Amino acid sequence: MTKDEISTKNETSIFIQKNSVAIRIWHWLTFLTIISLFVTVLMASTALNPRKNIAEVQNALKEKGVIVSNEQAWAVSHMYDDKMWDFHKILGFALTFLFLSRIVIEGTQPKKEKVNFRIKNALAAFRQPGQDKKELKHYLLVKGSYFAFYLLLLAMVGTGLVIAFGSDLGISGPVRHSVKEAHGVFQYGFYTFVAAHLIGVVVADLGKAKGVVSGMINGGK
């Protein structure tokens, strides 16, 4: 066995691996961008929801002696929501840039830190006798979840860009509407991944893979 190969026979967990500076910077910038995107969606659908604010606009104007219709109040209430969506769009462009940089980073990663190499290595170890198959299955599931996340990211970026530039590209009407609906559905994949990932890394760090979280900060062993 060469030193690059995965083995469940030694003391340290197979989850304790090196993380390059580029991956660490990418990871924490992506974390910040995605959490900010979640906040824009949360704000736009709660405090800034234009439908819910119609009555508030009408009441505020009524106190100043002005009576306005639902339609007139809507013209004001949706303005702030629109600003939040503009902010969402800008963060979306930042996430698009991060997605593209993840592809570039993969190309520049040392061979043994490439996703492909790690998955192939784990599959090879799986076929060897005497290895802890349960731990290797878990490892493959975790790496598989990252792969699924990258596909979801591609779908989110793709649909987001179509909504943002659809009318310039001649994509409008029902097609843009369906793309927007799909974009809205994909968000649940993000919430699921982020929740599972957070629970996963915390449980791993408290259990067999002590130091896996700090490894995403200091680079690991």
Question: Under the phi-then-psi rule, with left for phi > 0, alpha for psi from -120 to 50, and beta for the rest, what region is 211?
Answer: left
Instruction: Judge whether 109 and 20 are in contact, CB under 8 Å.
Output: yes
Smallest distance from ligand HEM to CB 64, Å = 30
Smallest distance from ligand HEM to CB 120, Å = 15
Token readout for 208 is: 């067999």
User: Rounded CA gap, 80 and 83, in Å?
Assistant: 5
Contact letters for ligand HEM, residues 133-152 (x by CB under 6 A) = ---------x---x--x---
Query: Closer CB to ligand HEM, residue 56 or residue 181?
Result: 181
Query: Closer CB to ligand HEM, residue 68 or residue 194?
Result: 194
| 25, 35, 100, 154: which one binds ligand HEM (CB under 6 A) | 35
| 14, 37, 125, 179: which one binds ligand HEM (CB under 6 A) | 37
User: Rounded CA gap, 78 and 52, in Å?
Assistant: 10
| Residues in the chain, total | 221
115 touches ligand HEM (CB under 6 A): yes
Contact letters for ligand HEM, residues 55-94 (x by CB under 6 A) = ------------------------------x--xx--xx-
Burial class (CB in 10 A: 0-12, 13-18, 19+), 107: exposed
Contact letters for ligand HEM, residues 176-195 (x by CB under 6 A) = ----xx-xx--x--x---x-
Which residue in 121, 139, 115, 135 sits closest to 1, CA to CA? 121
Token readout for 179 is: 């793309």
Token readout for 125 is: 């170890």
User: Rounded CA gap, 130 and 127, in Å?
Assistant: 9
Binding site for ligand HEM (CB under 6 A): 15, 17, 23, 27, 30-31, 34-35, 37-38, 41, 85, 88-89, 92-93, 95-96, 115, 142, 146, 149, 156-157, 160-161, 163-164, 180-181, 183-184, 187, 190, 194, 197-198, 201, 212-213, 216
